[in-house]
Each structure stands twice: as C-alpha cells, then as structure tokens.
Amino acid sequence: MIDMTSSAPSQGATAVSGSLPQRFLRATELDTRMLGMVCALAVIWIGFHIISGGLFLTPRNLWNLSVQSASVAIMSTGMVLVIVTRNIDLSVGSLLGFVGMIMGVTQTEVLPQWLGFGHPAIWIVALIVGVALGALIGALHGYIIAYMGVPSFIVTLGGLLVWRGAAWWVTSGRTVAPLDASFRLMGGGPDGAIGSFWSWVVGFIACVALVLMLAYGRKQRRKFHFPLRPLWAEGFLAVAGCAFILGAVAVANSYPWPAAIVRRYAEANDITVPEGGLFIAHGIAIPVLIAVCVGIVMTFLANRTRFGRYVFAIGGNPEAAVLAGINTRWVLMKVFILMGMLAGISGAISTARLNAATNAMGTLDELLVIAAAVIGGTSLGGGIGTIAGAMIGAVLMQSLASGMILLGVDTPLQNIVVGIVLVIAVWLDTLYRKRVK
C-alpha cells in the first residue's frame, strides 16, 4: 500500500508552492516560533563563547548550565498552564524557598528523632512532605482565586510576601545544613549523576522512543485519514532528534570528575591511577533527568488529557468554556495545585544542589519562571503556550545569567538584562498575535 502525503489536491498544490524553506517547514511541521527560539539560543551560546574566549561551550559549563536550569524549567512548565488560563503566579520563588526550608528542617531536625540519622527513608519522606505542602499552598491560592474571586495577581503577590516571611520565620533566619546524603543526589554533582554507561542507555532508549512515537503518529494519521508528512520529513525528524539526544549525552559524558574526587574514589576502591589521570564521566545529572521527566508528563497532561483541553479552552474563551459545561473554578484550582507541587519539586532540587536550606533561596525566581514561559511562546493573553517552549526559555534565561557571570557582569546589570529580555519577549508576542489575527 502506498503512503499518500495528502488526500486533497489543494493541499498537494500548497505543499509544492513557496520557497524551499517554506516547503521544508510545511513538510516537517516544525513550529516556527520554537525554531526561532532555538536559533536565538544558538546565537547567544556562540556569542558568549566568542566573547568569553572559548569558556562557554565547554562540557563543564554546559553540564552546569543544564543543572542550574532544571529548577526554573520545572516551575516554568506549571507557569505555562497558569498563564494560559489568563492568570499569573508571583509567589513561586517564595514558595520554593518556604517549601525548601520545611524539607530541610524535616530531614535534619524532625525525622532523625523518629528514624535516626542516616535512615534510608529520610529523603523520601522529606520530598513527600515538600511536594504535599506545595500542593496545599497551591490549593489555598487556587481556592481564593477561583472561588472567592480575588485576582491572581493580588493573591500571589500576597503569597510572595507571606511565604518569604514564613521561610525566615521557620528557623528565625538560620541556614539549615548539611542535608541527608541521599537527598543531596537530587542536586547533581559527581554522585548526583548517573555515569557514562547509564547515560548512553538512557540516550538510546530516548532515541527508540522518539522513532516509535513518530511511527505511531503516522499510523494514527493514516487511521483517521489525516494528511501524512513525506517520508523524508519523518526521517529528518528522527535523525535530527536522535542526533540531538546522543549529542547531549556525549557532552554530559565529556565532563570528568574533579581530580581530587577521582583520587579519593580510587583510594577507596583500591584503583591504581595511571600517569595521565583517571577519567570518570559525570554523565547526565539527576536533576536534569527529573526536569525531562516532568516536561514529558506535563506535555502529556497539556496535550493528551481532558484536563489539558479544559485549561486551553478556559484560556481561549472563558465564557464559552462555562457554557460548554466545564467546571472552570475546579480546573483553575487544580492548575494552582499543580503549580504548587512543581514548586515543591524545584525546592527539593535547589536545596539539594546547595546542600542547605536558606530563607533567601528562590529570590526572584518568579521573574525567571514567568520570563521563561513568555519567551517560550506562552501568550499573556491566554489560550496559547507550549511546555517544551517554556523549558527552552528556561535554558535561554539561564544561559544569559551564566554567560554574564563568565564575563564578570555585576548582579544588578544581570537583572537589568533579564528585565529587558522579558519586555522584548512580551512585545514580540504582541506582534505575533496581531499578525495571526
């Protein structure tokens, strides 16, 4: 049986018209906004690499960049749904700090009295407490917004102040450290990565999953008589996707453990270190794996579930959503519960990475999260947004911060740049919406 790329003559005529780039984009169905953002990210990386004298595009910096982006990327996936429903959450940074402080106190002062120091269940209980607390706070925000009719801007602005003060109040400003050894693995580092072998395993599994997903999508299109992408376009997407995945794994495996840690590891395991030194790769960091898994789950929720369809329906036309029988208040409350849970996961990653819980943790993260979502294509007008775009936006924001740190730019100037980028992103979104209309 022969695959037909289109069943309609008019579509076939359209496919062959236009310039070569236009025909390529139509055939592959690549999102032009996403493609533009990837190109912008590539320009930023190359620019910083040149200006910094070759320090930016190194395995060490890229590995650290991925770890630093994980926390913001996770929260940005929830912020997409919040903004899609025409709301905003200004409290996520303070919520991260408060939940992180609670998790720190739980594993250092509360659980050891019940389970003893070093108990293997401490990190699990602390993580569950943090995520559950984030969900409860998100439910409180959502209830006030959805059922009491208070604007989200006011509710979450109040939350920004309340939870930041609560983070200080829990320990009277005291830093809580060190944290449980198993809990710290969620923050990255030599022990918080899966190593070279398992990184390649994960990479090859991801490639197989990508190919199977493309094949399944083609099967579903044929089943419902939708136009099919040309086979060469399917092949291009498979090859390009696998090349990106395996390239990312290769970069992660190119970053070795520090010499001092390698020496201690060799002594502890009776390994003779050769003259040129012993190369042990970090591999993919655990927080990066967590962020990728969250991104996959959130993409499924947004695109493949009734809840996701309801969220976009509410953002597109709230009045029509109500008339269609959607319980808009309950859906909105669930969005904020989900946002709170994601803030809890990010709080765990941030505290684990620092090996400490501080009352200043998460300061201004709300700016980075909102900027990441908007830069990633989420419209402040509601109804439009992608999870993958927000995560790329988080990497872009962290790339700006990382590059400016390498160049020795002062923190106040870094904030100025972030603010300017956010304004430009909203301006571009406004132009895009006008063009679409």
Provide the residue ranges of all domains of the chain, joining segments of one domain with +: 18-406
Q: Cα–chain-centroid distance for residue 253?
A: 21
Plot region of 265 (φ>0 → left; ψ -120 to 50 → alpha; else → beta): alpha
- Arithmetic mean of pLDDT, 371-381: 88
Query: Which among 309, 300, 310, 259 is positioned nearest to 280, based on CA atoms?
Result: 259
Q: Which two tokens stand for residue 103?
A: 């998790």
pLDDT exceeds 70 at position 175 = yes
pLDDT exceeds 70 at position 16 = no
Contacts of 251 (CB under 8 A, 6+ apart): 59, 62, 63
| CA 162 – CA 122 distance, rounded (Å) | 28
| CA 161 – CA 87 distance, rounded (Å) | 18
**Is residue 9 very low, low, confident or very high in pLDDT (cuts 50, 70, 90)?**
very low
pLDDT tens readout for residues 307-366: 999 999 999 999 999 999 999 999 999 999 999 999 999 999 999 999 999 988 998 899
Helix (H) or strand (E) holding 425: helix 411-436
| CA 401 – CA 414 distance, rounded (Å) | 7
Q: Cβ distance 349 to 74 under 8 Å? A: yes
Largest pairwise CA distance in the chain: 74
Could you tell me the CA-to-CA distances from 345 to 131, 287, 297 in Å, in that order? Answer: 6, 10, 14
- Arithmetic mean of pLDDT, 211-228: 92
Contacts of 347 (CB under 8 A, 6+ apart): 95, 96, 97, 98, 99, 100, 103, 130, 134, 361, 362
Query: Which among 299, 308, 338 is positioned nearest to 326, based on CA atoms?
Result: 308
Mean residue pLDDT of the chain comes to: 90
CB-count exposure of residue 331 (10 Å: 0-12, 13-18, 19+): buried
Query: Which among 350, 340, 289, 366 is positioned nearest to 104, based on CA atoms?
Result: 350
Three-state secondary-structure class, residue 326: coil
Q: Which two tokens stand for residue 140?
A: 């409180």
Could you tell me the CA-to-CA distances from 423 to 73, 76, 154, 186, 370 in Å, in that order? Answer: 20, 17, 21, 33, 11
Question: Is pTM beyond 0.95 here?
Answer: no
Q: Which two tokens stand for residue 333?
A: 């409350």
* DSSP character at residue 357: B
Beta bridge partners of 195: 283
| CA 128 – CA 123 distance, rounded (Å) | 9
pLDDT tens readout for residues 69-98: 999 999 999 999 999 999 999 999 999 999
- Arithmetic mean of pLDDT, 161-182: 92
End-to-end CA distance of the chain: 41
Beta bridge partners of 176: 357
